[in-house]
Structure 1
Amino acid sequence: MVAGIMALFSLTLIGVFLATVRSGGKSQLAQAVHQEGDFALKRIGSTIRSSQAVSCAGDEINVTTSSGAEIIFSLVADGGLTRVASDSSNFLTGKLAEAGSLNFSCYQGTLGNQVVTISFELNTHPLSSGQVQEQFQQEFATSVSTRQY
C-alpha cells in the first residue's frame, strides 16, 4: 500500500517536472522569436524613416535612401525556410521561425511625408518537433513615417 502511494507520488512529481521543463523551453523559444521580429521591424523602420521615398507593392517595399540607393525588403526563401530579408540577401529574421504574411501599406501623411504600415508574422509550426506546446505564431506590426528634409 505504501509502495503504491510512493509510486503515484513519484509519477506526479515527474509529471510536474516535465511540464515545467517544456514550458520553460517554449518561453525561451518565444523570447528568441520575439527578438528576431523586433529586430526586423526596427531595421526596416529605421531604413524607411531616413529614406527619401518609398514605394509599396503589398508584400514588398522599395526604399530609396538619401544617397539614392534602392533597397527592397520582402520575403525570401532560404533552404526551405521563408525569411524577411533585403534585396542584398541580408536576412532580418533568423532560422527559429518561418516568416509569412508580410505586408506594407503606404499613404501620404498630412505633413507631406509618407507613412508606411509594416506587418508580418513568425510561425514556429513548420520547424517544430511536433510538440503542441512548442508551436505558436507571433504577429508584428508598426507604422513609420519618412522624415522631411
Structure 2
Amino acid sequence: MSEINIGIERTGFPVKIGTIELWFDSSLENLRRFFNVNELANEKLKEAQEKAQHIHFPDNAEIESLDVKTVDAALDVNKEFIAAQYDIIFGEGSFKKIYKKHPDILALEQALEAVGIAIAKRIEEQEEERSGKVEAKKNEYLNKKSSKK
C-alpha cells in the first residue's frame, strides 16, 4: 500500500533579535496569546513578586542604602517579567536563549517594544495576504458557477 504524504507549511516568520533568530508562530491559535501578552506577562509578574515577597522593598530608600540582596531580588523580579514576555511571544525557553548570548536585561527590555511593533506590522501584512487569497478563491468559485449557467 502506498503512503499519502501531505506537507504542512508552518504559519509564521523568523524574527532576529541581536544575533539570535527565533520563530514567531502567527497561527490563529497563537495570535490570541500574542494579543494577550501583557495580561499573561502580568500573571507571571505576580508569581515572581510572590516569590520575592519575603524581601522588603523600601518605598523611598536611597539606592546607596539598599543591600545587594534587595537589589538582586528587584532585578530578578524585573528579569522574570521580561523573560515571560519573550517566552509568551516566541515560546518557552526563548528568553534564556537570547539572554545567554546578550546578557543585558535593559537592552532586551527596550527591544520588546520594537519586537511588538515589527510583529504587529507583519501580522497586518499576512492578514492582507490571507484576505487577498480568500477573495481570489471566492471570485474563482463565482466565475466557475456563472460559467456553468
Length-normalised TM-score, structure 1 = 0.30
Larger radius of gyration between Structure 1 and Structure 2: 2
* The structure with more strand, counted as a fraction of residues: 1
* The structure with more helix, counted as a fraction of residues: 2
